[in-house]
A and B are shown apart, each in its own frame.
Chain A
Amino acid sequence: MSNVPSDLKYAKSHEWVRQESDGSLTVGISEHAQELLGDLVFVETPEAGTTLEAGSACAVVESVKAASDVYAPVSGEVTAVNEQLGDSPELVNSDPYGEGWLFRVKPADSGELAGLMDAEAYKAHLEAEG
């Protein structure tokens, strides 16, 4: 079983969300997701200022094998993106919950965060997916 930090929330499509002290939410993809994708070679993040709708495709992560959409786990405005990924997409592989974060959102509806899975539920989801 891959690493699933207990302080994060998760979406079924394998994004994680961390609540920051200023109320913003940081979004990335889980260790399980990066393992499935393999070596990442390109990441396309949304531009700062973009308004995201929960569940919509908002970023793309590409490995040597294939491109995969990243879905917005919550609605809100993008306040920051991880500029390092332009030159170093492999950070998503090496540190998916740290330096490999994708973007930060100012949430439009704090209720959406509560609707995401906690670590236990996400682990169960991974097991069910086999």
Chain B
Amino acid sequence: MTTPRQTTLHDTHVAAGARMVDFAGWSMPIHYGSQLEEHHAVRRDAGMFDVSHMTVVDVAGPGARAYLRRLLANDVDKLRTPGRALYSCMLNADGGVLDDLIVYRREEGYRVVVNAATRDKDLAWMQEVAAAHQGLSVTEREDLDMIAVQGPGARQRILPLLPGALQGPAAELTPFHAMESGDWFVACTGYTGEDGFEVILPAGETRAFWSALSGAGVRPVGLGARDTLRLEAGMNLYGTDMDETTTPLESALGWTVALEPADRDFIGRAALERQKAEGVPRRLVGLVLEGRGVLRGHMKVLAGEAGEGETTSGSFSPTLGASIALARLPAGAGERVQVEIRGKAVPARVVRPPFARNGQPVVDIPA
């Protein structure tokens, strides 16, 4: 086993009392004492995540647009102006999800942020597809770090700490918009369902920025709370809720697949059209547990005559005070299902995620 890589902030995390774990080949903080308190900090005020393990890839050159329109299931032509962001899946020819990502349109070219766990596979695939395109550069930016600052109090705390040129305009950033100045890139995106920013910045400035955020009352948050926050927000985790064996249509991501215009031949298109015509056999849905227990991934779900499905990720939801999950169920499953927890069938209700947004539950909580 190789030694896990360390982010710029590794020693800072350790000094703050973080419990470090190996995640996707990186040594990352799972929590800094209490995952629950970190979760609530983001829902109620402001928390920050070191997400420097994520992979930033710049796509530039006159061929960039045509390349991304071939590579991605969503259409970068929706990005009408520089400074706009789009969530998309990258598919294989069978329509299976290779990764999910965010692509930003810049003044010149595009910036793509993909997952850490899929870095090698993604870069190889992106280069392979790039080989068929002209006038294109695909460049990983290992010189940059990334910090996410999320929560209702995130915006007011982060603004004074940004480079001067960004302070004023960043105050006006709305979701899925971004701006940059020098090597600082600020986007109103995130993985929590709260207001906040993701900041991509030069590695040499990361420690000072993190420390300033901490001084402004922003609490460090580990990967543990990152997972419960994204689950409450109804956001898929790649490799857990979807992978190469599932299509976006089976992953509640049909809305991210741009089938119009019909002449855009993106990779995976034919397979998705075929699946759509034949009928999507499985759906990814939300579950709220109504009986006692805690939902986890890989639990069997009994959906009556529709058949059986499986939870893909589950947890106790700190915001709801109940247990929630994402589950892949056979088409035709009704609103009432049962989940097998240690041999017992426990009732659960099918809901449409998200479970929580902007600090509040958005589904009915069992009494």
Contacts and interface: CB of A to CB of B under 8 A. Distances in A.
Chain B, interface SS category: mixed
A41 B294 contact: yes
Given A38-B34, A39-B34, A39-B36, A65 B224 contact: yes
A23 to B, nearest CB: 32
Contacts of B293: 42, 44, 62
A62 B34 contact: no
Contact of B315 (A44, A60, A64): A64
B342 A60 contact: yes
Contact of A38 (B224, B294, B296, B323): B224
Contacts of B294: 41-42, 62, 67
B292 interface: yes
Contacts of B210: none
Interface in A25-56: 38-39, 41-42, 44
A39 B30 CA distance: 13
Contacts, number: 37
A44 B346 CA distance: 14
Contacts of A60: 342
Given A38-B35, A38-B224, A39-B34, A64 B316 contact: yes
Given A62-B316, A64-B224, A64-B316, A39 B292 contact: no
Q: For A38, A62, A64, which residue has the most chain B Cβ atoms within 10 angstroms?
A: A64
Given A62-B316, A64-B315, A64-B318, A42 B35 contact: no
Contact of A39 (B35, B296, B323, B342): B35
B228 A64 contact: yes
B31 interface: yes
B277 to A, nearest CB: 42
Interface in A50-81: 60, 62-67
The A interface is mostly helix, strand or loop, or mixed, namely: strand
Most chain B CB within a 10 A radius of its CB, from A39, A44, A63, A66? A39
Contacts of B34: 38-39
B31 A38 contact: yes
Contacts of B342: 60
Nearest to A66: B296
A42 B31 CA distance: 19
Contacts of B323: 42
B328 to A, nearest CB: 21
Contacts of B315: 64
B292 A42 contact: yes
Contact of B35 (A44, A62, A65): A65
Contacts of B228: 64
Nearest to A57: B342
A62 B316 CA distance: 9
Contacts of A39: 34-37
A67 B315 CA distance: 10
A66 B297 CA distance: 10
Interface string B206-239: 0000000000000000001000100000000000
B35 A64 contact: yes
Interface string B59-100: 000000000000000000000000000000000000000000
A62 B294 CA distance: 7
Interface of B: 30-31, 34-37, 39, 224, 228, 292-294, 296, 315-316, 318, 323, 342
The 3 closest A-B pairs by CB, nearest first: A41-B316, A39-B36, A62-B294
Given A39-B37, A42-B292, A42-B294, 12 more contacts: A39-B35, A39-B36, A41-B36, A41-B316, A62-B293, A62-B316, A64-B39, A64-B228, A64-B316, A65-B35, A65-B224, A67-B296
